[in-house]
């Protein structure tokens, strides 16, 4: 006849008897309360939290203790239990606790468990088993907390990306200033910073890769940016000056390397983000017209493309050509305007221009220098000569239509 199996030979979990597991289960509330008390005593910032926040931490700690007991009963469910301990917490915890603080709380709770768990052990082997188990479980809890915070950070990052895309889209479409500024403020944009819009073709069909590349380059030059991939177009808004010293002038050149091969156009630098829609409008106008200048620099500034933009039908480019070139030359006097026109018609030959005007060549040189001072364009430069010719033509057409 087979002898009955003694009750003490019942299978143990993690080297612990069923009696020890029941004692741990009944003491879960006490262990959680002791952990929270230690947090209040050893962590100065914990005491400054509101009662509701401390109660949330207590609830999470109780869930963690219950998960520990469940894990001891069935280690195959370890991932489920440890994840459940933080399942509802990150959405709230991450608002008022940093990941470093959350890990500090977990570490302190594990220390309290290590101090108090030995009293539940029936013998030395169970004490060793409990010590090993809480260390393993603590590692699982720490990983669960880190994963939860990472998920929360990814969710916030996705929201920030959508918000950023709305800001850039608002700038491109010229939306109301208030809506753009409020959203930009939520992204931490300095409202007093200058802004320049840069447009071109994205270097990849993968928008996240494009965003990462642009941000990496912007970080290396120490400039905040807002960006959005809009189909086959990449729009970047860069903060700070882009003219003046060599370092400022290099900003757009370095960012242009994040675009695909082909033209990249930058609008004018405006005093603040509220006016960035004008920079975007000119940059996009330049991008549409830059094909007319095969030798355009990369990036090209929108004002360098005024002739091509005017030929493409951009009324703003026509206005700028009149205001910056045609009007100043006309207001400077007939002789100056006539000299520039004659010089251009003579093919840039100084002597022919002088003979046509019955003046000395030095007089022509003087008048051309004076025209360059007024307009920023010197007729002896081939590109500037084109700009002057188009500007004078646009001016004559505008006057004929009664616009000027």
Give the pLDDT confidence score for residue 39 in this predicted structure.
86
Q: Are residues 185 and 60 in the same domain?
A: no
Quick check: is 169 in a domain? no
Q: Are residues 303 and 330 in the same domain?
A: no
399: how many CB neighbours lie within 10 A of its CB? Answer: 13
Count of structural domains, the chain: 3
Average pLDDT in the chain: 84
Q: Are residues 323 and 361 in the same domain?
A: yes
- Which CATH number belongs to the domain containing residue 346 in this structure? 1.10.10.2840
- Which CATH number belongs to the domain containing residue 60 in this structure? 1.10.490
Asked which of 262, 287, 307 is the last residue of a domain, the reply is: 307
Q: Are residues 14 and 100 in the same domain?
A: yes
Give the pLDDT confidence score for residue 351 in this predicted structure.
94
What does the angle CA 242 – CA 243 – CA 245 come to, to the nearest 5 degrees? 110
Q: Are residues 145 and 20 in the same domain?
A: yes
Q: Are residues 24 and 43 in the same domain?
A: yes
Q: Which residue has the tokens 């933009």?
A: 309
Q: Are residues 265 and 327 in the same domain?
A: no
pLDDT over threshold 70, residue 14: no
Give the pLDDT confidence score for residue 199 in this predicted structure.
97
Q: Are residues 128 and 89 in the same domain?
A: yes
32-38 long-range Cβ contacts below 8 angstroms, 24+ apart: 32/58, 32/61, 32/62, 32/64, 32/65, 33/58, 34/112, 34/116, 35/61, 35/108, 35/109, 35/112, 35/113, 36/61, 38/108, 38/109, 38/111, 38/112
Quick check: is 48 in a domain? yes
Q: Are residues 286 and 323 in the same domain?
A: no
**Backbone phi, then psi, for 263, in 5-degree steps?**
-70, 145
Asked which of 155, 187, 204 is the last residue of a domain, the reply is: 155
What does the angle CA 288 – CA 174 – CA 157 come to, to the nearest 5 degrees? 95
pLDDT over threshold 50, residue 105: yes
DSSP per-residue codes, 224-277: -EEEEEETTEEEEEEES--SSSHHHHHHHHHHHTTBPSS--EE---BSSGGGHH
Q: What confidence tens digit (pLDDT) does each residue in 347-398 have?
A: 999 999 999 999 999 999 999 999 999 999 999 999 999 999 999 999 999 9
pTM score, two decimals?
0.65
Q: What confidence tens digit (pLDDT) does each residue in 244-271 have?
A: 888 998 999 999 999 999 999 999 999 9
The separation between the first and the last C-alpha atoms of the chain, rounded to the nearest angstrom, is 120
The Cα 207–Cα 124 span in angstroms is 59
Q: Are residues 142 and 23 in the same domain?
A: yes
348-353 long-range Cβ contacts below 8 angstroms, 24+ apart: 348/379, 348/380, 348/385
| Domain coverage including residue 255 | 179-307
Q: Are residues 202 and 294 in the same domain?
A: yes
The residue among 263 and 62 whose pLDDT is bigger is 263
């Amino acid at each position: 006849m087979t002898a009955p199996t003694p009750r003490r030979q019942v299978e143990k979990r993690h080297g612990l008897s069923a009696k020890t597991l029941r004692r741990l289960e009944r003491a879960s509330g006490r262990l959680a309360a002791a952990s929270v008390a230690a947090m209040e005593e050893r962590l100065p910032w914990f005491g400054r939290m509101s009662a509701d926040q401390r109660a949330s931490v207590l609830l999470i700690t109780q869930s963690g203790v219950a998960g520990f007991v469940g894990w001891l009963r069935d280690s195959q469910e370890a991932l489920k239990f440890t994840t459940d301990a933080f399942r509802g917490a990150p959405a709230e915890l991450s608002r008022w606790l940093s990941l470093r603080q959350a890990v500090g709380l977990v570490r302190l709770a594990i220390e309290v468990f290590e101090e108090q768990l030995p009293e539940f052990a029936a013998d030395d082997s169970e004490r060793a088993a409990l010590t090993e188990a809480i260390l393993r479980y603590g590692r699982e809890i720490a990983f669960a907390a880190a994963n939860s915070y990472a998920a929360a950070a990814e969710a916030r990052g996705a929201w920030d990306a959508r918000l950023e895309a709305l800001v850039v889209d608002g700038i491109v479409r010229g939306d109301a200033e208030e809506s753009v500024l409020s959203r930009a403020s939520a992204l931490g944009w300095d409202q007093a910073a200058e802004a320049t819009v840069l447009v071109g073709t994205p270097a990849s069909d993968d928008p996240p890769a494009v965003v990462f590349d642009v941000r990496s380059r912007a970080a290396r030059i120490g400039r905040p940016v807002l960006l959005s991939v809009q189909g086959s177009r990449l729009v970047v808004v860069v903060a700070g000056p882009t003219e003046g010293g060599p370092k400022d002038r290099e900003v757009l050149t370095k960012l242009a390397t994040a675009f695909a091969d082909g033209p990249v156009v930058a609008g004018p630098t405006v005093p603040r983000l509220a006016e960035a829609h004008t920079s975007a409008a000119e940059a996009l106008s330049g991008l549409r017209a830059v094909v007319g200048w095969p030798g355009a620099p990369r990036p090209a500034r929108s004002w360098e493309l005024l002739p091509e933009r005017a030929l493409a039908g951009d009324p703003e480019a026509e206005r700028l050509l009149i205001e910056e070139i045609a009007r100043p030359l006309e207001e400077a006097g007939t002789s100056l305007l006539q000299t520039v026109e004659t010089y251009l018609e003579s093919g840039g030959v100084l002597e022919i221009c002088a003979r046509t005007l019955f003046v000395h060549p030095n007089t022509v040189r003087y008048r051309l220098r004076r025209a360059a001072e007024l307009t920023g364009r010197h007729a002896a430069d081939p590109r500037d000569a084109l700009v002057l010719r188009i500007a004078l033509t646009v001016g004559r057409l505008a006057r004929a239509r009664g616009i000027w």
